[in-house]
Protein backbone atom coordinates (compact mmCIF):
# COMPACT_ATOMS: atom_id res chain seq x y z
CA UNK A 1 0.00 0.00 0.00
CA UNK A 2 2.77 2.44 0.87
CA UNK A 3 4.50 1.76 -2.46
CA UNK A 4 1.49 2.77 -4.52
CA UNK A 5 1.00 5.86 -2.34
CA UNK A 6 4.66 6.77 -2.87
CA UNK A 7 4.29 6.24 -6.63
CA UNK A 8 1.18 8.41 -6.68
CA UNK A 9 2.96 11.19 -4.80
CA UNK A 10 5.86 11.03 -7.27
CA UNK A 11 3.48 11.23 -10.25
CA UNK A 12 1.62 14.16 -8.74
CA UNK A 13 4.89 15.95 -7.97
CA UNK A 14 6.15 15.31 -11.51
CA UNK A 15 2.88 16.72 -12.89
CA UNK A 16 3.16 19.85 -10.71
CA UNK A 17 6.82 20.30 -11.67
CA UNK A 18 5.97 20.03 -15.38
CA UNK A 19 3.43 22.84 -15.00
CA UNK A 20 5.96 25.00 -13.16
CA UNK A 21 8.49 24.45 -15.96
CA UNK A 22 5.81 25.26 -18.55
CA UNK A 23 4.84 28.52 -16.81
CA UNK A 24 8.49 29.49 -16.37
CA UNK A 25 9.10 28.88 -20.09
CA UNK A 26 6.02 30.91 -21.07
CA UNK A 27 6.98 33.76 -18.70
CA UNK A 28 10.57 33.88 -20.02
CA UNK A 29 9.39 33.85 -23.63
CA UNK A 30 6.86 36.61 -22.93
CA UNK A 31 9.43 38.75 -21.13
CA UNK A 32 11.83 38.39 -24.08
CA UNK A 33 9.07 39.52 -26.49
CA UNK A 34 7.51 42.34 -24.47
CA UNK A 35 9.78 43.21 -21.55
CA UNK A 36 6.95 42.48 -19.07
CA UNK A 37 7.96 40.10 -16.27
CA UNK A 38 5.12 38.07 -14.77
CA UNK A 39 7.55 36.68 -12.17
CA UNK A 40 7.57 39.98 -10.27
CA UNK A 41 3.81 40.62 -10.37
CA UNK A 42 2.10 40.95 -7.00
CA UNK A 43 -0.87 38.89 -8.20
CA UNK A 44 -1.19 36.41 -11.05
CA UNK A 45 -4.47 34.85 -12.16
CA UNK A 46 -4.30 31.55 -14.07
CA UNK A 47 -7.38 30.16 -15.74
CA UNK A 48 -7.27 26.70 -17.31
CA UNK A 49 -10.29 26.11 -19.56
CA UNK A 50 -10.56 22.55 -20.88
CA UNK A 51 -13.36 21.47 -23.20
CA UNK A 52 -15.48 18.62 -21.84
CA UNK A 53 -14.73 16.59 -24.97
CA UNK A 54 -10.97 16.65 -24.41
CA UNK A 55 -9.63 17.57 -20.98
CA UNK A 56 -6.09 17.03 -22.28
CA UNK A 57 -6.24 20.29 -24.25
CA UNK A 58 -6.56 23.57 -22.37
CA UNK A 59 -6.92 27.22 -23.19
CA UNK A 60 -4.85 29.05 -20.61
CA UNK A 61 -5.21 32.68 -19.64
CA UNK A 62 -2.62 34.30 -17.39
CA UNK A 63 -3.40 37.80 -16.19
CA UNK A 64 -1.51 40.05 -13.81
CA UNK A 65 -3.86 43.02 -13.79
CA UNK A 66 -1.41 44.74 -16.14
CA UNK A 67 -0.85 42.25 -18.95
CA UNK A 68 -2.32 39.05 -20.34
CA UNK A 69 -0.92 35.90 -21.90
CA UNK A 70 -3.29 33.57 -23.70
CA UNK A 71 -2.26 30.23 -25.14
CA UNK A 72 -3.51 26.77 -25.96
CA UNK A 73 -1.85 23.76 -24.40
CA UNK A 74 -1.96 20.60 -26.44
CA UNK A 75 0.03 17.40 -26.47
CA UNK A 76 2.10 15.54 -28.98
CA UNK A 77 3.15 11.95 -28.32
CA UNK A 78 5.65 12.76 -25.54
CA UNK A 79 5.57 16.53 -25.11
CA UNK A 80 3.35 19.53 -24.57
CA UNK A 81 2.66 21.88 -27.44
CA UNK A 82 2.18 25.59 -26.69
CA UNK A 83 0.31 27.72 -29.24
CA UNK A 84 -0.14 31.40 -28.42
CA UNK A 85 -3.66 32.62 -29.13
CA UNK A 86 -5.47 35.95 -29.10
CA UNK A 87 -7.10 36.69 -25.76
CA UNK A 88 -10.27 37.90 -27.47
CA UNK A 89 -10.82 35.68 -30.48
CA UNK A 90 -12.36 37.43 -33.44
CA UNK A 91 -16.04 36.66 -33.83
CA UNK A 92 -18.43 37.28 -36.62
CA UNK A 93 -20.98 39.75 -35.26
CA UNK A 94 -24.45 40.32 -36.62
CA UNK A 95 -24.61 43.81 -38.13
CA UNK A 96 -25.62 46.40 -35.54
CA UNK A 97 -24.95 44.12 -32.55
CA UNK A 98 -22.15 43.78 -30.02
CA UNK A 99 -21.12 40.83 -27.86
CA UNK A 100 -21.84 41.33 -24.18
CA UNK A 101 -20.63 37.99 -22.84
CA UNK A 102 -17.03 37.15 -23.69
CA UNK A 103 -13.98 35.45 -22.16
CA UNK A 104 -13.38 38.49 -19.99
CA UNK A 105 -16.38 37.57 -17.83
CA UNK A 106 -14.52 34.80 -16.03
CA UNK A 107 -11.44 37.01 -15.58
CA UNK A 108 -13.59 39.71 -13.98
CA UNK A 109 -14.97 37.22 -11.45
CA UNK A 110 -11.52 35.73 -10.81
CA UNK A 111 -9.95 39.17 -10.32
CA UNK A 112 -12.55 39.91 -7.65
CA UNK A 113 -11.85 36.48 -6.18
CA UNK A 114 -15.61 35.96 -6.27
CA UNK A 115 -15.43 32.19 -5.87
CA UNK A 116 -19.03 31.91 -4.67
CA UNK A 117 -20.40 33.26 -7.95
CA UNK A 118 -17.90 31.22 -9.96
CA UNK A 119 -18.95 28.01 -8.19
CA UNK A 120 -22.58 28.65 -9.24
CA UNK A 121 -22.01 29.55 -12.91
CA UNK A 122 -23.50 26.24 -14.03
CA UNK A 123 -26.61 26.48 -11.84
CA UNK A 124 -29.70 25.91 -13.92
CA UNK A 125 -27.68 24.74 -16.92
CA UNK A 126 -28.64 21.31 -18.18
CA UNK A 127 -25.59 20.85 -20.38
CA UNK A 128 -23.74 17.89 -21.74
CA UNK A 129 -21.05 20.12 -23.14
CA UNK A 130 -19.16 23.03 -21.70
CA UNK A 131 -15.81 23.42 -20.05
CA UNK A 132 -13.90 22.31 -17.04
CA UNK A 133 -12.39 25.44 -15.57
CA UNK A 134 -9.66 25.59 -12.95
CA UNK A 135 -8.76 28.98 -11.52
CA UNK A 136 -5.62 29.71 -9.53
CA UNK A 137 -4.81 33.04 -7.92
CA UNK A 138 -1.25 33.55 -6.69
CA UNK A 139 -0.84 36.68 -4.59
CA UNK A 140 2.01 38.03 -2.52
CA UNK A 141 1.57 38.19 1.22
CA UNK A 142 4.50 39.04 3.47
CA UNK A 143 6.89 38.60 0.54
CA UNK A 144 5.70 35.07 -0.31
CA UNK A 145 3.07 33.85 -2.72
CA UNK A 146 -0.12 32.28 -1.44
CA UNK A 147 -2.32 30.34 -3.81
CA UNK A 148 -6.10 30.10 -3.85
CA UNK A 149 -7.92 27.85 -6.28
CA UNK A 150 -11.40 27.16 -7.48
CA UNK A 151 -12.74 24.42 -9.77
CA UNK A 152 -16.41 25.05 -10.49
CA UNK A 153 -18.74 22.39 -11.89
CA UNK A 154 -18.86 22.19 -15.68
CA UNK A 155 -20.55 25.23 -17.22
CA UNK A 156 -20.90 27.09 -20.50
CA UNK A 157 -20.57 30.84 -21.05
CA UNK A 158 -22.69 31.59 -24.07
CA UNK A 159 -22.07 34.66 -26.18
CA UNK A 160 -25.02 37.03 -25.89
CA UNK A 161 -25.58 39.96 -28.22
CA UNK A 162 -27.20 43.35 -27.71
CA UNK A 163 -28.06 46.09 -30.18
CA UNK A 164 -25.44 48.82 -30.42
How does the average pLDDT of the chain come out, rounded? 79
Q: pTM value?
A: 0.73
The model's pLDDT over 4-46, given as tens digits with 9 standing for 90+, comes to: 688 888 887 887 788 888 888 889 999 998 899 998 899 999 9
**Can you tell me the distance from the alpha carbon of 148 to that of 115, in angstroms, rounded to the nearest whole number?**
10
Collapsed DSSP state (helix, strand, coil) of residue 7: helix
- Radius of gyration for the chain, computed over Cα atoms and rounded to the nearest angstrom: 18
Taking the chain, what is the end-to-end CA distance rounded to the nearest angstrom?
63
Q: Is the pLDDT of residue 121 over 70?
A: yes
Contact (CB, 8 A) for 110 and 152: no
The alpha carbon torsion through 135, 108, 81, 43 (nearest 10 deg) reads -70
When pLDDT is cut at 50, 70 and 90, the band that residue 143 belongs to is confident
Amino acid sequence: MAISNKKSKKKIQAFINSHIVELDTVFQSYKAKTGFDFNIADTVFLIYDSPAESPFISDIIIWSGKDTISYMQGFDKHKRIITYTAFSPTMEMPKGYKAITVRGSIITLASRRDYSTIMHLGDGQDIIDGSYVHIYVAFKENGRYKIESCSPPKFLIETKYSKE
